[in-house]
Structure 1
Amino acid sequence: MDGVTGSGVRATARIVARDDGRGGTSLPVLDSDGPLALRRTRGSGGEARVMLVGAMSGPLGGDRFAVHAEVESGARLRVGSAAATIALPGQAKGHARYDVRLDVADGGELHWLPEQLISAAGSELYVTTRVALAGSARLVLREEQVLGRVGEEPGRLTSRLAVRVDGRTLLDQELACGPGAPGGWDGPAVLAGHRAVGQLVVVRPDFATEPVAARMLGEGAAVVPLAGPGALVTAVAADALRLRRILDEALATFG
């Protein structure tokens, strides 16, 4: 853990996945402490699996969390979390930040599948996820955000996701919700009254020449091709369970 100051907790976790030369993936770096605890779990085939375990509540106001995962050439990594992350108000002044950086080299593959992020009443959280992929890298990334716990209003949540392939932007978008967010976030053009929103980004080299077809995926969800080797699924739902069901069904359509 980087430390605790009067303005909140500072914590960083880092993962490096490497081809072990025997058909598997090793984890030469699995470094974490405090509220960001990383645990290796049983993998499958050549894939290494890591679970992010929340050892403390948060992020709270003033906290600064960061996670960096690096997948080297030929390595395969799947990262999940043991439970939902809950953004909460804290005693320290100011917003909280949660920064994620993902780097995948040629021939590497990353499945980034954390549990939901819940924006509790009174919280203020800025989340940034930056992904840098080499040309033949593969990615499955899921984001799920729930605005408020049962029976409460949401906090302020700003989330930005940027994905680049060989240095070229594939996706760069930002969503702000809750008190103080730009007007219209809860209107018919954005969330339309729903309290769970999510997306699924799938990047495969073959999508560059055979892009997915844009289509609806039932009520409240759609898949669109990106300008490059990727596809984006966006979905809204009444609650977290329905959102997960929609995104799981969408992922299954990619084979």
Structure 2
Amino acid sequence: MSGVRAVARIRATGDGRGGTALPVLESDGPLALRRTRGRGSEARVVLVGAMSGPLGGDRFGVEADVESGARLHVGSAAATIALPGQVKDAAHYDVRLRVADRGELHWLPEPLISANGSDLYVTTRADLAPDARLVLREEQVLGRVGEEPGRLTSRFVVRVGGRVVLDQELACGPGAPGGWDGPAVLAGHRALGQLVVVRPDFNDSPAAARVLGEHASLVPLAGPAALVTAVAPDGLRLRRVLDEALAVFDLR
């Protein structure tokens, strides 16, 4: 018995009138895409999970292409919860983002929760042209209230103009390499997140490194990008820190 396979797809293009059109908005299985009211030239899409999961053995994917001159904001209606299933294989959730020159993407989903007994591999890859813009938030919560987490492995890669500016992987939970919960990594915290901002003006004026609160920091990357990383006791406090980081970039 195998799990569910589903890939949802979005393509955003300029509509010729200063706005953004969505010629492709393709839902699949449990991944439902809904267009909502946009702001100015920006189109907005919400990802709605039509069933529980991903469960063991499931393979979910979301692909978004933003063409030149288009502006797209993608969020989700609720948190994604990785759960154990009848299939003992790991689940996979792959996100593929591509942004062309003069395109802009805000990818701001709700958190991913790793429930006890689950095993999930998450991969996020963002490929940007040199003059593209990106705001991407990733939040992960290890376990629901009062429970131990499942195993969660996360890979995150960002390329600008074909050049890698960020490539990192973190494994947490049962069976992960030792030390993931130690003082040099999570130090007992159960919520972790990051915010990546890419914009061309960072080529001339890189973001300045700074501390954001007690357990968060902002650092410039090797390219027109900046990275905020944070840990917190829970998802609510993690969101507050990342919202403060958005304000630093004047993005709230």
TM interval, shorter chain, is: over 0.9
SS of structure 2 residue aligned to 1:242: helix
Amino acid at match of 2:67: E
For structure 2, the 5+ residue unaligned runs are none
What SS does the aligned partner of 1:83 have? coil
Give the Cα separation in 2 of the matches to 1:234 and 1:213: 14
Match of 2:214 among 213, 216, 219: 219
Deviations 1:36-69 (A, max 9, x none): 0000000000000000000000000000001000
Aligned residue number for residue 162 of structure 2: 167
Structure 1 residue 7, shift from structure 2 partner: 1.1
- What residue is the counterpart of 2:26 in the other structure? 31
Q: 2:133 pairs with 121, 131, 138, which one?
A: 138
Of 86, 90, 101 in structure 1, the residue corresponding to residue 96 of structure 2 is 101
Q: Which runs of 5+ in 1 are unaligned?
A: 1-5
Partner of residue 122, structure 1: 117
Q: 3-state DSSP class of the match of 1:8? A: coil
Could you tell me which residue of structure 2 aligns to residue 51 of structure 1? 46
Alpha-carbon contact 1:122-1:156 (below 8 Å) kept: yes
Instruction: For 2:49, give the aligned amino acid.
Output: G
> Normalized against structure 2, the TM-score is what?
0.99
For the aligned residue pairs, the C-alpha RMSD in angstroms reads 0.5
User: In structure 1, what is the Cα distance between the partners aligned to 2:203 and 2:86?
Assistant: 48
Distance 1:128 1:161 in 2: 6
The SS at the match of 1:22 is coil
CA distance in 1, matches of 2:242, 2:42: 22
- Asked whether the 8 Å contact 1:7–1:93 carries over to 2, the reply is no
Equivalent residue number for residue 225 of structure 2: 230
State the Cα deviation string for residues 145-197 of structure 1 (Å, max 9, x = none): 00000000000000000000010001000010000001000001000000000
Among 4, 23, 34, the alignment partner of 1:9 is 4
> Cα distance, 1:143 vs. partner?
0.1
Dislocated runs of 4+, deviation >3 Å: none
**Structure 2 equivalent of residue 86 of structure 1:** 81
Residue by residue over 1:18-52, the C-alpha shift from the partner in whole angstroms, topping out at 9 and shown as x without a partner, is 00010100000000122100000000000000000
Q: Aligned equivalents of 1:189 and 1:74: distance in 2? A: 42
TM-score if structure 1 supplies the norm length? 0.97
Q: Which amino acid aligns with 2:168?
A: Q
Give the structure 2 partner of residue 3 of structure 1.
Answer: none
Percent of pairs with identical residues? 81
State the Cα deviation string for residues 96-126 of structure 1 (Å, max 9, x = none).
0000000000000000000000000000000
Alignment pair present for 1:254 and 2:249 = yes
Give 1:93 deviation, angstroms: 2.1
Q: Distance in 1 between matches of 2:62 and 2:40?
A: 25
CA distance in 2: counterparts of 1:165 and 1:145, whole angstroms? 25
Write the distance in 2 (CA, Å) between the matches of 1:19 and 1:76.
Answer: 8
SS at match of 1:246: helix
Other-structure match for 1:180: 175
Q: SS in structure 2 opposite 1:92? A: coil
Q: Residue in 2 aligned with 1:206? A: 201
